[in-house]
Structure formats: structure tokens, C-alpha cells
Structure 1
Amino acid sequence: MKLSLKIKTAYGIIAIADQCLYFLYGTFFLFFTTTVVGMDPGIAGVIAALGALWDAISSAIIGFISDNTYSRFGKRKIFIICASIPVAIVTTLLFTAIDASMTMKIVYYVCMTLLFWTGFSSFFIPFLAWGAELTEDYNERTRLRSFAYVGNTFGMAIGAVMPTIFVDHLVNMGKTQAQAWHGTAAMISGVVFLSLMIGSLIIKEPSNLADKVHTEKMTFKKFVQMFKELFKGFSEILRLKTLRYAVYASILYLAANTIFVADRLYFYTYNMGLNALSITALMAIEPFAGMIFVPILVATSSKFDKRSQFIIGMSICAGSMVVLRFIGITNFLEAALMLVAFGLGAICYWQLMPAMIYDVCELDELVSGKQRQGTIVSFQAISESLSEAVGLILLGNMLQWAGFDGSAAIQQEKALYWVDNAFTIMPGIFMVLSVYMIYKYPITKKVFNKILDAVERQREGQMADLEEFKEIM
């Protein structure tokens, strides 16, 4: 099914909120809590990891519930609309520096982190599942993700670039660092609210997703049964080795992404000694660095399938990261080249990986006879959560072990050495491992079309021969 420009644009508008929040948290939460709130890096890393782990749990629950929700407001849309206001409020509170004892601060930021990721998964999983439901066309899914990537890019710019500009501007106006961060978070929260509301109101649910209204009363027995079905469904889906390879690849790339994104502000500030203006300029390069590769991926999609594009692009990115570690990054131009290289890996992941996971939905339907798009795409969110937890705990404890001091303008040599490694070679290694997992992922364009043909025959009541798909199940 071909999608209209209006639908693809609306999908891209929702994607602004996705990356806006993801990069705001990933880039600044550790930095905010260590330099503004005054927490030890190890404690801040543990809090961030707790939130990420909770995101994994809430993503699984939201995916299952949205798969089984039918209302006059639609199947996925209702979640996105209902999440828009709470997630905006909590984001503002998350970047509010409270005046309290360290124990109370820890309790506060743990609570805000858990609420933040609950709100995030409440709109992100239904949004991601929409991509699989709006079209079953192999190439159209890639095109849809191109619009999502453009939205992601603007979201990344807002979440990762605008904070440094606004915080610096508000401080120059006489605001404290704490007040500046609070005001900046409130501004970004407003953008998130608008993108979720506007995009979701434009997209009309496919007719097969909005043709039933769920009227059965929820009872405790039904609630327990629902969770039994959730665990059963996850168990069934995880038996698909194709999905497992995609999940492994996601976790590995996102660990690289988390470490790189959270570490770069430390690298620019302490290793390179850049001022706020130069850091802001670099932050502005990264979101749009990947944009130059969008038309390349779209143009080559007819010659190379998603799997091949991912392997080639991510391999180039990983190699560049490792090489730049040994060459060294000492000036603005070299740092900009690093961001362009990283942008290639980012576009390969954010545009291609969701589309590859979408393609698993038809394989699952062929095997199980069920449509579980929300549950399946929740595995990508779970991957993000697990990698976020691993990456932030690793970086936070590594900085503490290396002797990083958030109150010091100049860091000791050991701390600078490990900040450098976390910016270059560590992400590169994780990317190489991600490439290997996608090499093992078996769904090519040819294989997908065979799966789709079999699913369509099955929908018409014919028996499908699963033996020919045994190698990818």
C-alpha cells in the first residue's frame, strides 16, 4: 500500500517528539545531575539505568495493551494523544533542580525518571507499531522511515542542540544554571506536546484497526489473564531467531549510541576545551549530518535491500570511529568529521532497523496467525532501554573510576583518557558487533516478498507451507 505525502509527513511530525526526548535525556541527564544537581556520576548512572530498565518493562506492557485495544478513537492514536500532556509535564520536572538533601534528590530523580520513561513508551510503542500497520509494502516502509528520520533529525536538533543555546542564553540574561535548565526543559516539552498532538490527529487509523469498540468490563480475573497472554506472546515471538538477531543488533548499536551521546559533552568541554558557542555548533552538525545520507539510502533501496545497506553503512561508520581514535580529534574540523561519520551510522539504524523489525511482523503472522505489531516493535524499545541502562551505567561508573570531578574545570589525565575512549573506540567496537548480528539476520527483500505472499494466501483461508521458511523461523 502506497501512503500519501500527508500521512508520511504526519508520521514524521510525531517522530520529532521521539528523538527530541530520547536525545534530551541521553545527552543531558547525566551532565545535568552531575554538574547542576551535584550527584556523583556513579549514582546518576544508576538512576538513569533504572529508568531505562523500567522503560523496557513499560514498553512490553504498552505494546501488548495497544495490540488489544479497540475504541472509537482508534487503536494506536488514543495512546499517543493521552501521553502528550503527562510526558511534557514530567520532562519539565525531570530537569528541575530541587533544593533538598542528597537522599531526597535521589528519590526525586528516580521517581521523575520512572515517570518520564513511562510517558515515553506510552506514545513511542504505538507510534512505532503504526509504521508496520500503515503499509505492508517493503520499499514503502523504508520511505516512511525516511520521513520519520527527517522528523527524528529535527527532534534530535531540538533535544541535543537547543538546550546548550537556551541554557547559555538564559544564564546570560541573569538566570541561574538551575533556572536556565528548568526553562529550557519547559520549552522543549511544549514542542513535544505539539508534535504528538498534530501528527496523531492528522493520521487516520487504517479501517481494520478502528472497526471494533472494546466494551468488555475489566475484572481482576481478566487482568491476570491479560498478563498471562502477554508473557505467552513474548515467549512465542522470541522463538523467532530472525527477531533475536535484530534485537541483538539494536542493543549493540544503541549501546554505542548511548555512550557516544552521553560522553560527547564531556569530551568537548574537558578534552577539547571548547566554549559554549563551539559546542553548540558541533551539536547542530550531528542531527543534520545524517540527512545527507537519506537520499542515498532511498536511491540505493532498489539495488540493495535494507540488510545490505545497514551492513555497508554501519561498517563504514564503525571503521571511521576507530581510525579517528588513533588519529586524534584535536580541533573543530576533526570533531565535525567525527559527527558526519557518526551520522552515517545513525541514519542506518534509525531509518533501517525499525523497517527491518516491521518485516518480522509478517513472519510472526505467518507462524502464529496473529497480528502483534505492537508487541513486536516493543522489542526495539526494549533494546533501547537495555542499551541505555548498560551504556549509562558503564559510562557513569567509568567516569567515577577514572576520577572525574564535576566541580573541577580541569580533569586529571586518566579521566580525559577514558572520556576519549568512550567518544571513539568503544562505540566503534559495539557497532562492529551490531553489523555481525545483521549479517546473521535472514530477511532480504526476496525473502520478505515470499513471506508476504504466503501471509496473503493464509488470510484467504489457504494453508501455508511453513517448511520453506524453516531456516528463518
Structure 2
Amino acid sequence: MIRERGSKLYVGYAFGNGSEACIYNFVASFFMIYLTGVAGINAQLAGTITSIALLTETVASIVIGKISDKTSCKYGRRRPYILVAAILAPISIFAMFYNVRFPLSLKVVYYITAGMAFWILYAVFYIPYTALGAEIAKGYDDRTKLRSLARGFGLVGTLLGFNLPLLLLQFLQEQGFNKSFAWHMVALMIGIVCFSGYFFCWNLTRNGEIQQLNIEKNTTRNSIMTMFYDFLELLKLKPMKIALIYKVFFTCAFTFFSTSMIFFLQFNLQLKNDKTATIYVISVAFSLALTPFITKTAIKLGKKKQQTIAMLFSGVCGIILYLLGICNYYITIIYVMIFSFAQTSFWQLSNAIFYDIIEIDEFVYDKRREGDISCIQSVVGTLVTAATVQIVGMLIEIAQLNLNGSNQGPLVVKTLSLIFILLPSINLVFAGIIISIFPITRTRFEVLLKTLMLKKEGRNYQCYIKEIDKMIR
């Protein structure tokens, strides 16, 4: 049982994941749709805007990761950044979904700027927040439990981030409000959710951080060259390489799936917003039901085996459904539920997998770089997402999707099926293959903790070196 103080920390941490999931899914699912359907920007240009804005997060993540690791403040290393994001992120969300009446060139500049502001503030929250999780939960299974609780809150946030816009847009437009005003109200509501979750996270995680000692303050150690040297050190670690490649394949799958889902539902199946929202409710409900099952499976089998099973099963089933052809509402629900298994498994446990690399770093380099590790995996995810979004925009533009027409040509239907079903499924299969060779298991992690303790005490730990070498070489 988690003690009362621990429960408060875990719940506070989970609130942050709820808001992060809400705004991430909202922006990932609707920004391109807003740019093409309301702002009047073509799909390829909208993809470029989205990609450029996303790339800003890579720079922000690098800077924030290093700064938060080096922060020495009575309010903590991580939590001050969470509070800053709570105040400013809602403003950036509203700016992204505000319909400006500018010429096209100025409109593009405006939305790139608004998008950049959002993703910078996303990094200001996400990097310190992710690093904070490794400090709150230090054990192999404790990290699984923390991320599982956070995932439960995250699913509620996901539901809000996807369904709230659809339902509120439909309601406001039925009441006679124009599309621009409806989107403004949606952005306002999402901003309120963002602030609330971030603020609760900041408030409830007091005293949950590790107080870092001997933080180096000289300018040489904080130079850009040193920053990248630290990253190169981490990238030399065997588990870091494998975990990052795993994330690349899953991120491709998730981005193809999430950015094309609404297009597929609206144009291939010709569903209205309420039917689309129903599919998402079913998906989230199924994911919530899966969460305790995934937790128990991960504790019993280990995180690596659970992830391998989830990715391979979902990927193979998706390929089979693509070959059979998804052409109706009910088969689409089955596919979305299958993908939800992989998606829920990844978001629930992937950060816990990266957390376990922190102790490897500590053993090899005598450093704890939670922020740098969080930063690297975030940067890789962002770069892959930006590239994948650009590919989606290009494919949709090549297929000549007519956003104002309900009946689309066979090329559009085929292209959307390719993006929504086949490409995600292939990437899940590759992800499953890669994570199957991840070297950190529960048994080896426990050996690692014992070895670290002996090393700190200056005692002999040679009897454990053989197991340690399996993780780092």
C-alpha cells in the first residue's frame, strides 16, 4: 500500500498527465483540421505549419531538460516550470485556435508563431514533469504503478481533448454560432482544463523531488558543448538506444493514426461528429478497462514482455484488418480498440521504461540526469512526429482530398485507409520487435540497485558485474 503522503504525490502527478493528455490530443487531432477547415489553409501548408511549430519543441526540450537538472531553488528543480506552464500554456492554446483575418502569408506566420509558443510551453511542462516521476517513484514496480495511475488520468484527459471539441462544436453551431466562435469557446474550455490539471499537479507534488546536491554552476559545465556531450554519453548506453528506436516506431504509428482518424471517419465512413465522438468514447472506455490489466501484466511479466505482446498483437491484427478491408462503422470500432491496446500500453509504461535507464546512467557515469533523459526521448518523439505529420499532409494533398465534399474519389479513400490503418500497424510490428531486445528486466534492475548501493559504500560488487554488463554492453 502506498502511504498517505505517497498517495497524494501519485495523485498530484496523475493530474498533470490528465491535462497533458488533453491538450496534446486536442492539438494533435484538431490543429490541422482547424487550419484547413476554418483558417482556409491547404493541407500541405497546414502540415508544414504544424511541423515547424513542433520542431520548436526540440530546442525547448534540450534547454529545459538541462536547466531543470541544474536548477537549485527552494521550490524545487521541476515544479517551478510546471507552474509557469500552468499560467501561460492556456493562452497559447487560445491563440492557436483564434481565426485571424490576415492575408495568407501573415496568417501562416501567425499560426507558426502561436504553434511555436504552444510547443515551447509544452516542453516547459513535459520535461520537468516527466523527470519528476522518476524522483517520486524509485522502484521498478513503483514506477509501473505511478505511470498506470497517471495513465488513468491521462485517458480522461484524452477523452476531454477529443470529445469535448466535437460535442461543443456541434452544440454551438446548432445554436446558430459561427464556426470561428465555436472554436474559440472550445480552445477556452481546453485551456481551463490545462490550467486546472497543471496547477493541481504543482500543488500536490510538494516535497516529492530529490534534492540534488553539488549542482555545478560554472559556465563551462553549462555550455552548449557540454550539453551535447552529456547527450552523447547517454546515447552510448545500450538500453537508451533500444528505447529510443522503440519510441521512433511507436511515434510513427501513433501520429499516422491520430492525425488521420477524423479524416478517415468523416470522409471514408461519412460519420457526423456525434458518431465520431462515440467511437472515441468507446476507445477511451476500453483503454480505461485495460489499464489495470496492463498494470498487472507488467508487474507479472515485466514491462518489456508486456510491451512486446501489445505491439506485435495490435500490429498484426491491424494488418489483417487492412487486408480484409475496413468499410463500416463496427469494424472501425474493432480496429480502434485493437490500436488502443498498443497505445494504452505505450503511454502507460514507456516513461517507466526510460526511468529505469536513470540508474544505468548513475552506475556508468556517476550522474543522475532525469531531465536529460526525458529531454532526449521527447526530442526524438517530436522530430519523428513533425516528419510524420509532414508526410500525412503531403499524402492527403496528393490524394486531392476535398474538405468541402462528402463524396471522395477512390484515391482519397485508399490513401486515408493507408495512413489510418496500414502504416500504423506496420510500425507497431517493428516497435514490438525492437522492444523485445530491451535489456533491463526486473531481476536485472534489482541487481543494479544492489550494485549501486555497494558502489556508493565503496564495497566490492564484482559478483554482479556479469549481469550489469548484459544491460550496458
Relative to the length of structure 1, the TM-score reads: 0.95
SS of the residue aligned with 2:72? Answer: coil
Q: One-letter code of the match for 2:469?
A: K
Q: One-letter code of the match for 1:460?
A: E
Considering only aligned residues, what root-mean-square deviation do their CA atoms show, in Å?
2.0
1:332 aligns with 2:332: no
Question: Which residue does 2:338 correspond to in 1?
Answer: 341
Question: What is the rounded CA distance, in whole Å, between the counterparts of 2:98 and 2:317 in structure 1?
Answer: 38
**1:149-175 alpha-carbon deviations (Å, 9 max, x no partner):** 011101111111111011111111221
Q: Give the deviation of 1:332 after TM superposition.
A: 2.4
Query: Out of 99, 105, 108, which is 2:107 matched to?
Result: 105
Question: Which residue does 2:265 correspond to in 1?
Answer: 268
SS of the residue aligned with 1:282? Answer: helix
SS of the residue aligned with 1:80? Answer: helix
Of 105-114 and 52-61, more deviation after overlay is shown by: 52-61
Q: How does 1:387-466 map to 2 (within 5 A)?
A: 387-462=384-459, 465=462
Question: Which residue does 1:175 correspond to in 2?
Answer: 177
Q: How does 1:284-363 map to 2 (within 5 A)?
A: 284-363=281-360
Contact map agreement 1:74 1:210 (CA 8 A) in 2: no
Question: What is the rounded CA distance, in whole Å, between the counterparts of 1:108 and 1:223 in structure 2?
Answer: 37
Question: What is the rounded CA distance, in whole Å, between the counterparts of 1:366 and 1:77 in structure 2?
Answer: 26
Q: Give the deviation of 1:210 after TM superposition.
A: 7.0
Question: Which residue does 1:470 correspond to in 2?
Answer: 469
Of 417-426 and 333-342, more deviation after overlay is shown by: 333-342
Of 259-268 and 329-338, more deviation after overlay is shown by: 329-338
Query: Out of 115, 118, 127, which is 2:117 matched to?
Result: 115
Q: One-letter code of the match for 1:380?
A: Q
Q: One-letter code of the match for 2:434?
A: M
SS of the residue aligned with 2:55? Answer: helix
Of 122-131 and 51-60, more deviation after overlay is shown by: 51-60
Question: Which residue does 2:98 correspond to in 1?
Answer: 96
Query: Out of 222, 235, 258, which is 2:219 matched to?
Result: 222
Question: What is the rounded CA distance, in whole Å, between the counterparts of 2:74 and 2:266 in structure 1?
Answer: 51
Q: Give the deviation of 1:2 after TM superposition.
A: 5.1
Contact map agreement 2:77 2:209 (CA 8 A) in 1: no
SS of the residue aligned with 1:197? Answer: helix
Q: How does 1:190-269 map to 2 (within 5 A)?
A: 190-206=192-208, 208-209=210-211, 222=219, 225-269=222-266
Contact map agreement 1:72 1:210 (CA 8 A) in 2: no
Q: One-letter code of the match for 1:125?
A: I
Q: Give the deviation of 1:5 after TM superposition.
A: 2.1
Question: What is the rounded CA distance, in whole Å, between the counterparts of 2:438 and 2:279 in structure 1?
Answer: 34
Q: Give the deviation of 1:397 after TM superposition.
A: 0.3
SS of the residue aligned with 2:135? Answer: helix
Contact map agreement 1:16 1:154 (CA 8 A) in 2: yes
**1:384-412 alpha-carbon deviations (Å, 9 max, x no partner):** 20221122011000001111122333222
Question: What is the rounded CA distance, in whole Å, between the counterparts of 1:102 and 1:232 in structure 2?
Answer: 42
Query: Out of 56, 78, 81, which is 2:80 matched to?
Result: 78
Question: What is the rounded CA distance, in whole Å, between the counterparts of 2:270 and 2:73 in structure 1?
Answer: 55
Q: Give the deviation of 1:17 after TM superposition.
A: 1.5
Question: What is the rounded CA distance, in whole Å, between the counterparts of 2:264 and 2:155 in structure 1?
Answer: 22
Q: Give the deviation of 1:18 after TM superposition.
A: 1.2
Question: What is the rounded CA distance, in whole Å, between the counterparts of 1:207 and 1:311 in structure 2?
Answer: 31
Q: Give the deviation of 1:370 after TM superposition.
A: 0.6
1:25 aligns with 2:51: no
Question: What is the rounded CA distance, in whole Å, between the counterparts of 2:85 and 2:32 in structure 1?
Answer: 24
Q: One-letter code of the match for 1:177?
A: K
Question: What is the rounded CA distance, in whole Å, between the counterparts of 1:460 and 1:135 in structure 2?
Answer: 23
Question: Which residue does 1:50 correspond to in 2?
Answer: 52
Indicate the percent of aligned positions where both proteins have the same amino acid: 25
SS of the residue aligned with 2:168? Answer: helix
Contact map agreement 2:53 2:119 (CA 8 A) in 1: yes
Contact map agreement 1:354 1:380 (CA 8 A) in 2: no
Question: What is the rounded CA distance, in whole Å, between the counterparts of 2:461 and 2:51 in structure 1?
Answer: 43
Question: Which residue does 2:190 correspond to in 1?
Answer: 188
Question: What is the rounded CA distance, in whole Å, between the counterparts of 1:167 and 1:223 in structure 2?
Answer: 52
Cα 1:12–1:206 change in 2 (3 A) is closer
Where in structure 1 are there 5+ consecutive unaligned residues?
A: none
Q: One-letter code of the match for 1:363?
A: I
Q: One-letter code of the match for 2:43?
A: P
Q: Give the deviation of 1:57 after TM superposition.
A: 1.9
Q: Give the deviation of 1:211 after TM superposition.
A: 7.4
Q: One-letter code of the match for 2:395?
A: M
Q: Give the deviation of 1:463 after TM superposition.
A: 6.2
Q: One-letter code of the match for 1:70?
A: S
Question: Which residue does 1:41 correspond to in 2?
Answer: 43
SS of the residue aligned with 1:273? Answer: coil
Question: Which residue does 2:153 correspond to in 1?
Answer: 151
Question: What is the rounded CA distance, in whole Å, between the counterparts of 1:463 and 1:100 in structure 2?
Answer: 69
Contact map agreement 1:2 1:135 (CA 8 A) in 2: no
Question: What is the rounded CA distance, in whole Å, between the counterparts of 1:170 and 1:78 in structure 2?
Answer: 37
- Give the count of matched residue pairs: 468
Contact map agreement 1:13 1:151 (CA 8 A) in 2: yes
Question: Which residue does 1:60 correspond to in 2?
Answer: 62
Where in structure 2 are there 5+ consecutive unaligned residues?
A: none
1:386 aligns with 2:383: yes
**1:167-219 alpha-carbon deviations (Å, 9 max, x no partner):** 1111112211111111101111011001000121011234642779x897xxx
1:365 aligns with 2:367: no
Question: What is the rounded CA distance, in whole Å, between the counterparts of 1:266 and 1:207 in structure 2?
Answer: 43
Relative to the length of structure 2, the TM-score reads: 0.95
